[in-house]
Amino acid sequence: MQQIVNGLFIGSVYGLFAVGYTLVFGVLKQLNLAHAMSFTWGAIAGLWTFQKGAPLPAAFLAAVGTGMIIGILLDKFIFGPLIRRGDSHLSGLVASVGLSLVLSAIALAVFGADTERFPADAFPDKRFTVGGVTFTVVQLAVAGTAIGLVLLLTWTIKSTKYGRGLRAVSENVDAARILGINVQRITLATFALSSALGAIAGMLFALAFNVVYLDMGADVELKGIAAMIIGGLGSVPGALIGGLIIGMAEVLSITHISSEWKDGITFFVLFIVLLVRPQGILSRLPGREL
Amino acid sequence: MSTPQRSAGRRAVKLVGVAAAAALTLAGCGSSSDTGASSEKGTVSGGKCELKDTVKIGAVFSQTGPLAAYGASQAKGAKLAIKEFNKEGGVKYELAIEDDTSQAPIGVARFKKLVDEKVVGIVGPTSSTIAFAAMPPTNAAKVNVVAVSNTAPGIAEIGDYVFRVSLPETTQIPAAVKVAKAKDNIKKVGLIYDQSDAASKAGHDLFVQAFKDEGIELVADKAFASGDVDFSAQLTEIKKTHPDAIVIASLAEEGGPVISQARKMGIDVPLIGNNGMNSPQIIKIAGSDANGLIVGSAWSPSLDTPENNAFLAAYQAEYGAAPDQFAPQVYTAMLTLKSAVDSACSTDATKVRDELAKLSDFKAPIGTFSFDKIGDIQQDALVLQIEDGKYVVAE
């Protein structure tokens, strides 16, 4: 039972991270490979703000702000110009890898290759036990924030003006434009939102395991993409469910097989899901080729 | 998956070529009677050796990357040693220091660079994993290596030119287990270790053997990999077995978080660690959670000898802080090289090697020790315990 909680905990962070992928994919049918950099930069910005003596909410705001800047950069300089040129799906993908390398090099220059941490004993060390399962305050806060944000986002897409616009653009860009929807603004907002979510996921990961390092984004990148595919491309709740499944698979493979097999088992789960349900768990769309 | 390993993998493609070339060149050197270092015979006047040129000592440490916590301290020890040597007069020394970025292929290339620069000996590297890659070609090139923090078995066995001043875990771990057992009446233990790090894996095997010798039951044995950040699955499994102590064989970057996460989960039993857990970095990461951790050690600031007190004073004056065990180990390694160069009164690597091999009852900051016939250190282990955020001698 404790292991299931452990899996759900890490899985909720993967899920939130995967939501960022799925948003961009849902709207643009594009895979944004710079998303992992929002994760890393979110954590770095949060850590720096916290180290300057700011309270935790300010650190979160710094992470969100950094994520949004990366999102706006992505839209203005990478995906936007390429789409206006009648982009094939591939050039956006490759260009986002380019931006990711640039952001990674900047991080190396200003942050360095060393692992940094929040000061020891920085957070309340409270824990409580329910039915033999132990939770810590940080764990509950992290999982609660991740799941809460995904639910909020699902509601936003369903019930707000932005959400309706987003769904229209996702359905058919030209039709949306004819209907008077500002496609460019929707796209920009989606990139900013997606990257901000990635940055929050990075910040939560940093808090959960008290670790910030250069390649932290690269370490969760494939897991995020796998979570998106398992949940169903373009489905926000699906990405969360995919993340939770991957978190569980990781924990169970450590306990029942060996920690060496952790990543292998994760992708074996992806393989099985693709065999049984190629469109992913929650997607109504037929399987799409990436 | 581990970050350093992944980036090492990328760079390895490029560096495999370099490393292979280095190995071939060095193997070639080894078959001739040449030595890697340029040799110069000095003159002895008034009992003191005098050499015309400055003697260059090489050092390779992991000053960036996951091992930076150890490497930075080692670099300080090396720089302090050179400064103190040159104060004494006589032979002039200089230091050529390199960063292996915590990666084995880079370490191989840095050793090769120092061999080409004709240093009289190389101090380092920081990790056993890098030592196993970089030392064989250096030994083949007949350049002396003094290992300072490689505690895995089989280091001094690499060759005639390889020496080691770090007390191997074969001595440290049984000593730590014995003290912990007596102190806390330990009957069964849970073990967690880094299976991707050579020294931690070796530490794990030595712990298993020590438990067998002491009649302690091993109730859980769980592994992780370097670069992992979440240990909750392993610790949950260990917690279920209700051990009397948690035993950790890991480097500080993972070992520190293992301690914090264990305490957060409510595992409040005593802790025992290997050499990697003997680092101020553990206290920095885990804070008060680390109190009570028992480790075997090669050195302690409470070691009350003239050599150690002089070292402590010099270190405090230079850096305004107290050293960990890695700085005095490096200082000691530098001393052995200096002593060998001075008594050979030559920079000929083979002559220096012969003097190194003769060292016995050598007095240094880490205590009095001798080299055995394979060049490994002969000394008794200290057992330390963290109390109020400090490593002190365990009673």
Q: Among the listed ranges A219-233, A250-264, B115-129, which one has the minimum average pLDDT value?
A: A250-264
pLDDT score for A129: 79
User: CA A185, CA A167: separation in Å to the nearest integer?
Assistant: 14
Residue B301, both tokens: 């600031």
A259 touching B, CB under 8 A?
yes
Farthest-apart Cα atoms in chain A, separation: 59
Angle between helix B306-319 and helix B68-88 axes, rounded to 10 deg: 110
Identify all chain A residues contacting B66, using CB atoms and an 8 Å cutoff.
115
Count of Cβ atoms closer than 10 Å to residue B350 Cβ: 17
Question: Which of the two residues, A86 and B217, has the higher pLDDT score?
Answer: B217
ipTM: 0.73
What is the pLDDT confidence band of residue A52, given thresholds at 50, 70 and 90? Answer: confident
**Average pLDDT of the residues of chain A:** 85
User: Within 13 Å and on the Cβ side, how many CA atoms surround A107?
Assistant: 30
pLDDT score for A88: 64
Rounded mean pLDDT, A140-168: 89
B192 beta partners: B222, B248
One-letter-per-residue 3-state SS of B155-194: CHHHCCCEEECCCCHHHHHHHHHHHHHHHHCCCEEEEEEE
pLDDT score for B32: 39
pLDDT score for A51: 85
Which of these, A16, A10, A18, lies nearest to A224 by C-alpha position?
A18
pLDDT in tens, chain B (395 residues): 333 444 444 444 444 444 444 444 444 443 334 444 455 666 766 667 888 889 999 999 999 888 888 899 999 999 999 999 999 888 999 999 999 999 999 999 999 999 999 999 999 899 999 999 999 999 999 999 999 988 788 899 999 999 999 888 888 899 999 999 998 889 999 999 999 888 899 899 999 999 999 999 999 999 998 888 889 889 998 998 999 999 999 998 899 999 989 998 889 899 999 988 988 889 888 888 999 999 988 888 888 889 999 999 999 999 998 898 899 999 999 999 999 999 999 989 899 999 999 999 999 999 899 999 999 998 888 889 999 888 888 87
pLDDT score for B46: 62
* Partner-chain contact A125 B264, CB within 8 Å: yes
pLDDT score for B116: 95
* Partner-chain contact B64 A113, CB within 8 Å: yes
Which of these, A273, A251, A270, A272, lies nearest to A262 by C-alpha position?
A251
Identify all chain B residues contacting A250, using CB atoms and an 8 Å cutoff.
233
How distant is the Cα of A178 from the closest Cα of chain B, in angstroms?
A: 48
Euclidean distance between the first and the last CA atom of chain B, given in angstroms as a whole number: 40
- The per-residue DSSP string of B330-381 comes to HHHHHHHHHHHHHHHTB--HHHHHHHHHH--SEEETTEEEEE-TTS-EE-PP
Share of chain B above pLDDT 70, in %: 88
Euclidean distance between the first and the last CA atom of chain A, given in angstroms as a whole number: 37
pLDDT score for B22: 46
Q: Is residue A36 scored above 70 in pLDDT?
A: yes
Q: Please give the backbone phi and psi of residue B101, each rounded to the nearest 5 degrees, phi first.
A: 50, 25
A123 touching B, CB under 8 A?
no
Q: Is the pTM of this model over 0.90?
A: no
CA pseudo-torsion sign B315, B318, B320, B324: negative
Q: Name the closest residue on chain B to residue A222, using Cα atoms.
A: B1
User: CA B160, CA B145: separation in Å to the nearest integer?
Assistant: 10
A127 touching B, CB under 8 A?
yes
- Would you say A83 and A92 are in contact if contact means Cβ atoms under 8 Å apart? yes
Residue type, B295: V
User: CA B232, CA A3: separation in Å to the nearest integer?
Assistant: 8
Residue B67, both tokens: 């091992």
Identify all chain B residues contacting A263, using CB atoms and an 8 Å cutoff.
1
Question: Which of the two residues, B213 and A56, has the higher pLDDT score?
Answer: B213
A3 touching B, CB under 8 A?
yes
- Would you say A162 and A156 are in contact if contact means Cβ atoms under 8 Å apart? yes
pLDDT score for B5: 42
Partner residue opposite B195 with nearest CB, options A9, A136, A260: A260
List of E strands, chain A? 127-130, 133-136
Residues 6+ apart with CB under 8 A from A147: A12, A15, A240
How distant is the Cα of B92 from the closest Cα of chain A, in angstroms?
A: 35
pLDDT score for B244: 94
What size, in residues, is chain B? 395
Burial class (CB in 10 A: 0-12, 13-18, 19+), B380: exposed
- Would you say B7 and B229 are in contact if contact means Cβ atoms under 8 Å apart? no
- Residue B292 CA, chain-centre distance (Å), reads 23
Count of Cβ atoms closer than 10 Å to residue B11 Cβ: 15
User: CA B130, CA B134: separation in Å to the nearest integer?
Assistant: 6
Q: Is residue A158 scored above 90 in pLDDT?
A: no
Q: Name the closest residue on chain A to residue B62, using Cα atoms.
A: A114
Partner residue opposite A114 with nearest CB, options B6, B64, B289: B64
Q: Among the listed ranges A34-48, A164-178, A182-196, B133-147, which one has the minimum average pLDDT value?
A: A164-178
Residue A245, both tokens: 């499944």
* Partner-chain contact B65 A113, CB within 8 Å: yes
pLDDT score for A9: 87
Q: Name the closest residue on chain A to residue B66, using Cα atoms.
A: A114
Q: Is residue A6 scored above 80 in pLDDT?
A: yes
| Interface mutation vs chain A, best among B6, B239, B264, B289, most A CBs within 10 Å | B264
> Cα-atom radius of gyration of chain B, to the nearest Å?
21
Rounded mean pLDDT, A138-149: 87
| Interface mutation vs chain A, best among B194, B236, B251, B288, most A CBs within 10 Å | B236
pLDDT tens digits, B8-43: 444 444 444 444 444 444 444 433 344 444 556 667
User: CA A63, CA B294: separation in Å to the nearest integer?
Assistant: 39
User: CA A201, CA A40: separation in Å to the nearest integer?
Assistant: 9
| Interface mutation vs chain B, best among A2, A136, A138, most B CBs within 10 Å | A2
- Would you say B237 and B222 are in contact if contact means Cβ atoms under 8 Å apart? yes
A207 touching B, CB under 8 A?
no
pLDDT score for A285: 56
pLDDT score for B288: 87
Q: B269: which DSSP letter?
A: S
* Partner-chain contact B286 A209, CB within 8 Å: no
